[in-house]
Amino acid sequence: MNLSTTDVVLGFNHIKTTRTNVCSLVKDIKQKIADLNKIYMEIVKNHAIKEYTFGLDAFHFQSKLIELEYDHMQLLLTTITNRIYCEYYKLYKLITDYVHNEIKLNATISKTAFPIYKELDKNTNYDFGLTVEIQAIIVKYITILNDYLEEKNKELHINTMRQTKCGINIEHIVHFQSYTNTLVAEQIRMFIRYMDALNKHHTKYIGRLHAISKNLLDNVNTDITTTEMDFESVTGKSFVNDDPTAIENIVLTLI
């Protein structure tokens, strides 16, 4: 299959979109957790007697489980985001080294000093915006390499015509040019294949996280819906009988 920069850009854009959706789900879950905690505090405030302890403990445990799932989801998002940066940073270093040191093109696209990815540093979080910038730079370098190869192929064509029509003995030059042009073409294809492989890996990872996030939000939404229906009575605003069994039943429906 012949891949192009358009293909890998589309693949990366899909990752960006999915990650944005995950971040939106995470934000919604965080708000839902805050709502649950607010409701819990209201219940404690208005029904601070020991008869309510059983129901309140159940509600608190349920909220704690949701928070634990949320924290795990945040850790997964950070880990995946860091890994995407790691791999694109390494590819960025490969392609810039090739452009500047191997074929010696004077092509500086960005003066941004990207943070060095440190394998053993588990405390640094790499902003996804940096990965987006690196990916765009890599695509620009590939465009530059394609333009360079096109010029070299034109030179090869001219020298081939000179050899054929003019009888100039430059076979060695023609053969070497053909060889080096082939190497450049293969190097370009390799960079594109690398990007495609990264897209496939991270599409899978971020897709799984999206499914986890959506499932958690769906579960929390079910809880919040139940809570919102019964909130007024649970908080005591219109809870007339102060019946511990009644509040236990309401809280237990949230589990």
Cβ–Cβ under 8 Å, residues 152 and 178 = no
Cβ–Cβ under 8 Å, residues 252 and 58 = yes
Length of the chain: 255
Number of domains comprising the chain = 1
Is residue 30 a part of any domain in this protein? yes
Confidence of residue 128 (pLDDT cuts 50, 70, 90): very high
Say how far apart CA 218 and CA 59 lie, in whole Å.
Answer: 18
Name which residue leads in pLDDT, 254 or 49: 49
Percent of the chain residues past pLDDT 70, beyond the cut: 78
Confidence of residue 47 (pLDDT cuts 50, 70, 90): low
Is residue 167 a part of any domain in this protein? no
- pLDDT tens per residue, range 56-83: 677 778 788 889 999 999 999 999 999 9
Residues whose CB is less than 8 angstroms from the CB of residue 147 and which lie 6 or more positions away in sequence, other chains included: none
Is residue 191 a part of any domain in this protein? no
pLDDT at 132: 96
Confidence of residue 242 (pLDDT cuts 50, 70, 90): very low
- pLDDT tens per residue, range 142-181: 999 999 999 999 988 887 877 666 556 667 788 888 999 9
pLDDT at 248: 47
Average pLDDT (193-219) is 95
Say how far apart CA 94 and CA 134 lie, in whole Å.
Answer: 12
Longest CA–CA span in the chain (Å) reads: 109
Name which residue leads in pLDDT, 232 or 151: 151
Cβ–Cβ under 8 Å, residues 192 and 8 = yes
Is residue 148 a part of any domain in this protein? no
Q: Is 41 helix (H, G, I), strand (E, B) or coil?
A: helix
Say how far apart CA 206 and CA 50 lie, in whole Å.
Answer: 45
Confidence of residue 200 (pLDDT cuts 50, 70, 90): very high
pLDDT at 43: 73
Is residue 162 a part of any domain in this protein? no
Q: 81 lies in which domain range? A: 5-133+199-252
Confidence of residue 240 (pLDDT cuts 50, 70, 90): very low
Is residue 151 a part of any domain in this protein? no
Confidence of residue 21 (pLDDT cuts 50, 70, 90): very high
Tokens matching residue 120:
């053993």
Confidence of residue 255 (pLDDT cuts 50, 70, 90): very low
pLDDT at 238: 44
How many angstroms from the chain centroid is the CA of residue 97? 26
pLDDT at 157: 82
Is residue 111 a part of any domain in this protein? yes
Is residue 170 a part of any domain in this protein? no
pLDDT at 181: 93
Taking each helix axis from N to C end, the angle separating 5-46 and 53-97, rounded to the nearest 10 degrees, works out to 160
Kindly tell me the burial class for residue 186, based on how many C-beta atoms sit within 10 Å of its own C-beta (0-12, 13-18, 19 or more). exposed
Does the model's pTM come out above 0.85? no
Residues whose CB is less than 8 angstroms from the CB of residue 206 and which lie 6 or more positions away in sequence, other chains included: 15, 18, 19, 22, 80
Q: Is residue 251 scored above 60 in pLDDT?
A: no
